[in-house]
Chains A and B, each alone.
Chain A
């Protein structure tokens, strides 16, 4: 076995261990340790990605002295390594970009607690990405849920407490449904390891045994993970959680936490239940329908919003709808488009959140549109970055959002007419609605009017501007050089089955 193959194990354990170490140091050192750990894991994931691209096959890694159905196991393929690398980049940039706000909005004595949450969140995301065992996935879903709650309420005011309670209730409901689904699957198959469950389910599908429990389990797992990732009818916790928490938390929650659950769902679809069984169970039609509703309703709510952060949050609902719509198409192309949209939305949404706080900073901390008029002149880097993010969200060629919309379009054209027509119509309507609310904001922030905030001193932060530049570059790279990434995603999906 090559030494490189230890990397998934090293990344998970390193971030877990750094969480414990961070509890002993003050905020300043916690920040440094955290940045260091994320950078190390980023570098290791890059090495692993290139190694896997070279070997062209996935491998499993035994956690302990006992082989798989008895002990734990993790698994790494191209898609897993790509996700891990990408999540690390986004997390690091979001933290660097929102650092000024972190230091202002969180009490100094509680700064190090924030970085404990971040470290454990990273480890749980990595474990969700790499795990090959359903119960391990559930344990790390728990860590993910609790730390996400902490991320919301660490900025202590009434709004965030209310948002954290909402998030807690909805998210625990989702965890409960996921656990029920896992229990039913264990009851019917007798395994917790993904590949063994899959082989049992293929046998069951052939003989027709336990058909009803299987369908109920699929439905519970899908609904549970849909609640946790804020699919349309279950999104009521989202606007306040993203709108009032500190900027880094909002960026990390919208671009990493919900995406981790979606990735777990995709993994369960392919590696646990099997794509054919999922297709024949018709559960994905429901996800497809909810996805379409989400695309429209999320955008409509965003248009009627008067608060820039909540507007961006509602836009997340629409984008999550896109991802579920792609999964619901039920083809390889649709799935590729969804995974590409996970990447592109993560890069864009965190950029928008970080840019939005730059704009509100120069407008007397007000998030209302009326106060934001002309804010782009007061904080130029934030204005440019927000414009780039908005263009990417709308789907202007050259930015990442365009490629994902293109992929969705080509995927649905190759589909049956029953799904093609509604998808194309909804894509069209949703793009127009996107354009309405994002362009409205861009025009407003570039409207040259005299405002009472013009003469306020703007604190220039190179760190903040640097993070925004990196985000913009990431966005343009995703938009310009999409072919190798799409190839990697397709290669990873082949390794899944």
Chain B
């Protein structure tokens, strides 16, 4: 109660509603958020009963009470695995104690390889960030393989989780209806926060990708940031909003374009490099945003693939398609 105002005008202030919420008199979700009750768990048995039933089944199948072989096997298996783990730990500790000490100046891994990366990296690749210069120019073949690892991982998840319309007609609709069983739809708090934070996350991700050759970051980290932003947006606003701009077709086109550009650009670079031809790709002034040859476009490609992969994983695990 306020001493300065009368009851009527006090009820309109924000302080009144805050204290009401604080005292627990009003639930802000009630009436505002669309909530769907989850299916109550039908099985009324307790955990103990379930455990007993499992044991009974195992007993019926293997006759655990009287089966000496299984008992013997379990004991021996336990003992051997403990001994094996201890032995492996001992061997690894022994190995570590004989390995080169970390950070010692005379270590074998301080040889001509990192020396050239550090000394000539800027000059040869045009990238201020040596790490990006290494992964996208010196050892670009490994990174090409790595981005295809992401691609094939999504393909495998597609095989496992994608629900196709022509396959089981109603399953897709059911999954769509069940999508909100365990969390509220149109969560007001989440939506307000998401409106503020999602653009910032995505812009930051784009910054990290575009500056990959100038500052710490690059395609992999920037793509992960953008992917996280997209997932947050999806959580706040639901599939109806995201499917206006991002469907499986978009995913396919983006992945196809970036991976084939990566493949073709690097093929050109590998081919000219191996045959000792001039590639004709200018390196530009180190430090400028448009510099370091192919690294910037390749970073963009990697970033797109990573962002799409993260989003695709989330959407597939949530309702088997997007």
- Is the Cβ of B155 less than 8 Å from the Cβ of A150? yes
Chain B residues with CB under 8 A of A110: 158-159, 162, 164
Q: Is there a chain A Cβ closer than 8 Å to B49's Cβ?
A: no
Residues in A with CB closer than 8 Å to B73 are none
Complex: A66 Cα to B113 Cα, angstroms: 12
Contacting residues, chain A, for B110 (C-beta < 8 A): 190
A432 interfacial by beta-carbon distance below 8 Å: no
Q: In the complex, are the beta carbons of B152 and A117 less than 8 A apart? A: yes
- With a CB–CB cut-off of 8 A, which chain A residues contact B113? 69-70, 190-191
Residues on A with C-beta less than 8 A from B198 are none
Partner of B148, one of A9, A19, A62, A136: A19
Q: Which parts of A164-199 form the interface with B (CB within 8 Å)?
A: 184, 186-191
Residue B145, interface by CB 8 Å = yes
Partner of A24 from B145, B153, B256 at Cβ < 8 Å: B256
Residues 68-83 of A, flagged 1 when their CB comes within 8 A of B and 0 if not, give: 0111100000000000
Closest A residue by C-beta to B278: A65
| B275-308 vs A, Cβ < 8 Å mask (1 yes, 0 no) | 1100100000000000000000000000000000
Within 8 A of B (CB), among A8-29: 9, 13, 16-17, 19-21, 23-24
Task: Write the B126-150 contact mask toward A (1 if CB under 8 angstroms, else 0).
Answer: 0000000000011111101110110
Are A143 and B152 in contact (CB-based, < 8 A)? yes
Q: Which residue of chain B lies nearest to A211 when distances are taken between CB atoms in the complex?
A: B98
Q: In the assembly, what is the distance between CA of A116 and CA of B151, in Å?
A: 10
Which B residue's beta carbon lies closest to that of A146? Answer: B152
Question: Is residue A154 contacting chain B, with contact meaning CB distance below 8 A?
Answer: yes
Q: Can you list, as one digit per residue, whether each of A55-66 has a CB less than 8 Å from chain B (1) or not (0)? A: 000000111111
B18-26, B33-41, B263-271 - interface stretch: B263-271
Residues A62-106 near B (CB distance < 8 A): 62-66, 69-72
Chain B residues with Cβ below 8 Å from A184 are 95, 99
Give the interface SS of chain A, mostly helix, strand, loop or mixed. Answer: helix
A62 to B271, CA, bound (A): 9
If A69-B112, A107-B167 touch, whether A64 touches B137 (CB-CB below 8 Å) is yes
A153 adjacent to B116 (CB under 8 Å): no
Instruction: Please tell me if A200 contacts chain B, counting CB pairs below 8 Å.
Output: yes
Say whether A146 contacts B164, CB under 8 Å: no
Determine if B99 and A154 form an interchain contact, defined as CB atoms under 8 angstroms apart: no
Contact status B142-A139, CB under 8 Å: yes
A212 with B148: in contact, given A1-B276, A187-B109 (CB under 8 Å)? no
Interface bin, chain B: 35 or more
Query: What's the Cα separation between A337 and B141 when bound, in Å?
Result: 33
Contact of B263 among A16, A63, A64, A150 (CB under 8 A): A16
What is the chain A residue whose CB lies nearest that of B111? A190
Is the Cβ of A17 less than 8 Å from the Cβ of B264? yes
Whether A16 and B138, one on each chain, are in contact in the complex, defined by CB atoms closer than 8 angstroms, is no
A62–B264 CA distance with the chains assembled, in angstroms? 17
Are A72 and B142 CB-contacts (below 8 A) given A1-B276, A117-B155, A190-B108?
yes
Q: Does B195 contact A (CB under 8 A)?
A: no
Q: How large is the interface on A (under 10, 10 to 19, 20 to 34, 35 or more residues)?
A: 35 or more
Whether A113 and B152, one on each chain, are in contact in the complex, defined by CB atoms closer than 8 angstroms, is no
Determine whether B181 belongs to the interface, using a CB cutoff of 8 Å to chain A: no
Contact of B98 among A9, A65, A143, A213 (CB under 8 A): A213
CB of B86 closer than 8 Å to a CB of A = no
Nearest opposing residue in chain A for B272, CB measure: A65
Q: Which of A104-133 contact B (CB under 8 A)?
A: 107-110, 113, 116-117, 120, 123-124, 127, 133
**CB pair B99 A210 closer than 8 Å:** yes
User: Is A6 in contact with chain B by the CB < 8 A criterion?
Assistant: yes
A-side contacts of B137, CB under 8 Å: 64-66
By beta carbon, the residue of chain A nearest B113 is A69
Contact present for B98 and A212 (CB under 8 Å): yes
Chain A positions within 8 Å of B112 at CB level? 69
When A64-B140, A143-B145, A213-B99 are in contact, do A153 and B263 touch as well, CB less than 8 Å? Answer: no
Could you say which residues of chain A place their CB within 8 Å of the CB of B273?
62-66, 71
> Measured between C-beta atoms, what is the minimum distance from A293 to chain B in Å?
17
Report yes or no: A23 in contact with B164, Cβ–Cβ below 8 A: no
Q: How far is the CA of A109 from the CA of B313 in the complex (A)?
A: 19
Most buried by A among B99, B167, B255, B274: B274
Q: Are B95 and A66 in contact (CB under 8 A)?
A: no
Query: Of B112, B139, B140, which is in contact with the most chain A CB atoms at under 10 Å from its CB?
Result: B139
- Given A107-B167, A146-B153, A210-B99, is A187 in contact with B108 using a C-beta cutoff of 8 Å? yes
Residue A140, interface by CB 8 Å: yes
Q: Chain B's nearest CB lies how many Å from the CB of A199?
A: 12
Pull 24 A–B residue pairs with CB atoms less than 8 Å apart, ordered by A: A20-B151, A21-B256, A23-B151, A24-B252, A63-B141, A63-B273, A64-B137, A64-B140, A65-B269, A72-B139, A107-B164, A120-B151, A136-B142, A146-B156, A147-B156, A186-B109, A187-B99, A187-B100, A188-B100, A190-B109, A210-B100, A211-B98, A213-B95, A213-B99
Using CB atoms and an 8 Å cutoff, list the residues of chain B in contact with chain A: 91-92, 94-95, 98-100, 107-113, 116-117, 124, 137-142, 144-146, 148-149, 151-153, 155-156, 158-160, 162, 164, 166-167, 252-253, 255-256, 259-260, 263-264, 266-267, 269-276, 279
Ranked nearest first, the 6 interchain pairs of A and B with the lowest CB-CB distance are: A190-B109, A65-B273, A139-B145, A72-B141, A190-B108, A109-B164
